[in-house]
Structure formats: C-alpha cells, structure tokens
Amino acid sequence: VGTGKFFVGGNWKANGTKESVKKLVAELNDIKFEDDVDVVVAPPFIYLDMVLNSLTKRIEVSAQNSWVGKGGAFTGEISAEQLADLGVGWVILGHSERRHVLGEKDEFIGKKAAYALSKGVKVMACVGELLEEREAGKTFEVVFQQLKAYADEVPSWTDVVIAYEPVWAIGTGKVATPQQAQEVHEAIRGWLVDNVSPEASAQTRIIYGGSVNAGNCAELAKKEDIDGFLVGGASLKGPDFGTICNSVT
Ligand code: PEP
C-alpha cells in the first residue's frame, strides 16, 4: 500500500486557444482544493509561460513531452533544461499517444525520463496495455516491460509518479472498473518491491488514467493502491477537474 500524497494531473493535450486557456486558468484559480492533494496541469508547450504567469501557485505545471537529451539541433523539440529554465516542474512521458501515434519506444522513453530527472524536472511516467494485449492476457507483461525500461535508466524513483493508463480507456469514455485498475496498481506495487526496493514501492504514487470524470472518480479513489489520477478530457473543465482533485479519501 502506498504512503504518498494523493496526486492529480490534468493533461490538456493539443487543446485550447489563448482565450480558452485564460478561461480555464480562471476556473482553476477559483477552486478550493483539499490540503492533501498535489495538483499539476499540463498545457501545450506554447501556453506554458502564460499559464505559469497566471495560474495559482497551488497548482504545479507540467509539460507533455521533452527531448531525450541535451537541447540543440532537434527541430520541433523542447529540452528538459528549457523546461527547467521556464520554471516547469514536471513532464508527462510515455503517454500512449506518443507511444502509439508517434511510435516512441520503451528504451527511448526511459532515457527521456532519466534526462528530465537529471535537470530537476519530475516525471509522470505512463504505462499501459492495448486492448488486444489485455484480451491476450498480457497486461502485466506489457506493463512490467514498460516499467523496466524506466527502471533501467532512472537513478531514483523519488521524483517519479507512475500513471497506469490502459490504452483502451483513454479518451474512449470506457473507464476501467475500480477492480481492474486496483489489480494492475497492486501488481505495479509488487513489481517495484521486487525490482526496485520496498521503499520505492511504498513511496511512489501510482495514479490511474483513462476516462476519469467527476462522476466515476470517487469509486476509483477508494481503492487502496490508487493514489490519484491522470485526467485528459475532464481536465479541460475547471469545476469537473476540481471535483476529481478533491476525491482524495
Ligand atoms: C490521458 O490522456 O492521459 C487520459 C487519461 O485521457 P482521458 O481522461 O480523456 O481518457
């Protein structure tokens, strides 16, 4: 069972305009969050500075990706040192859209995580199986292999939050049942004991992502190994995101 503080991340993906981001920031600034939840939002790169300058300090800011190493001649990429320079504290890595739409591989993602951590940028490390992998009974195998790719590269898990996001549940409205999520979270907790350390297992937050909304968060949050959420669609609505953050039990 984890001992970490409840954690909710909002992944805005490639959504928003200056106008809508301004409105969302105003909604977020109005929310009264419970004390025992860490809240982080991940706007698109181009709005990071604007959000950092207008969002309440109660909420931390994350990027949605970072380059695998030191910045330089990598057109279209953003380096971890640039994120740190701006004051961005977190980065989402290994998201299923980057794995399965952009073709990022486990080893590359593991290296990105290590590099971001080396620059003081904390990592939301995503893992999760495809529907066909679940149906073939390969969920644990896939998730463990993704975890190993991070473990092979990162020197410490202190600044890492693991996001379990079954791909079939992301953006589909098809949420994992609390039991399905708990089962994988518990397995991840066990994998950390066996492959990293009992301390890392107890202290690393394991959050669930995949069609979490204001209506289903409370049931999921009750599960003992669910330490929070990574939220896509519902993070674009301030009041709904507030409800999800405050589902901490
Ligand atoms: C995500 O992209 O991380 C996610 C969980 O999306 P959604 O909540 O929209 O399923």
> Does 162 map to a domain?
yes
Of 163, 128, 157, 127, nearest in space to 9 by CA = 163
87 located within any domain: yes
3-state secondary structure of 230: strand
Task: Please report, to the nearest 10 degrees, the dihedral formed by the alpha carbons of residues 41, 14, 89, 120 taken in order.
Answer: 150
Would you say residue 99 lies in a domain? yes
High-pLDDT (> 70) share of the chain, %: 100
Query: Considering the domain boundaries, does residue 190 fall inside one?
Result: yes
Q: Which atom of ligand 1 is nearest to the CA of 165?
A: 5
Report how many domains make up the chain: 1
Is 141 one of the catalytic residues? Answer: no
Distance (Å, whole) CA 54 – CA 21 = 10
CB-based contact 153:129 (threshold 8 Å): no
**Tens digits of per-residue pLDDT, 2-14?**
789 999 999 999 9
- Tens of pLDDT, residue by residue over 103-158, are 999 999 999 999 999 999 999 999 999 999 999 999 999 999 999 999 999 999 99
What is the domain range of residue 182? 6-245
Catalytic site includes residue 165: yes
Q: Which of 60, 129, 153, 165 is catalytic?
A: 165
Query: ipTM of the predicted structure?
Result: 0.97
Ligand 1 atom 6: the closest Cα is on which residue? 232
Span from the CA of 125 to the centroid of ligand 1 (angstroms): 14
Domain assignment present for 163: yes
Q: How many C-beta neighbours within 10 Å does residue 155 have?
A: 8
Ligand 1 atom with the smallest distance to the CA of 92 is: 3
Q: Name every protein residue with a CB atom under 6 angstroms from any ligand 1 atom.
A: 11, 165, 170-171, 209-212, 230-234
Structural domain contains residue 61 = yes
**Separation CA 88–CA 155 (nearest Å):** 21
Contact (Cβ atoms closer than 8 angstroms) between residue 203 and residue 3: yes
> Mean pLDDT over all residues of the chain?
97
If you average pLDDT over residues 38-65, what whole number do you get? 98
- For 2-40, b/e burial (b = at least 16 CB within 10 A) is beeebbbbbbbbeebeeeebeebbebbeebebeeebbbb
- In angstroms, the Cα distances linking 213 to 98, 106, 239, 244 are 22, 28, 11, 7
Helix residue ranges per DSSP H, the chain? 18-29, 48-54, 80-86, 96-100, 106-118, 131-135, 139-151, 178-195, 198-203, 217-221, 238-245
Give the tokens for residue 137: 């009974």
Residue 183 to residues 79, 94, 188, 189: CA-CA distances in angstroms?
A: 35, 21, 9, 10
In the set 81, 95, 97, 185, the catalytic residue is 95
Q: Is residue 67 part of a domain?
A: yes
- For residue 82, the CA-to-ligand 1 centroid distance in Å is 26
> Which residue has the least CA distance to atom 7 on ligand 1?
232
* Residue located nearest, by CA, to atom 8 of ligand 1: 232
Cα dihedral sign, 112-113-116-122 = positive
Task: Express each pLDDT in 209-238 by its tens digit.
Answer: 999 999 999 999 999 999 999 999 999 999
Give the residues across from 127 on adjacent strands.
164
Task: Tell me if 1 is assigned to some domain.
Answer: no
Instruction: State the pTM of this model.
Output: 0.98
CATH of the domain at 214: 3.20.20.70
- Tell me which residue has its CA closest to atom 4 in ligand 1: 232
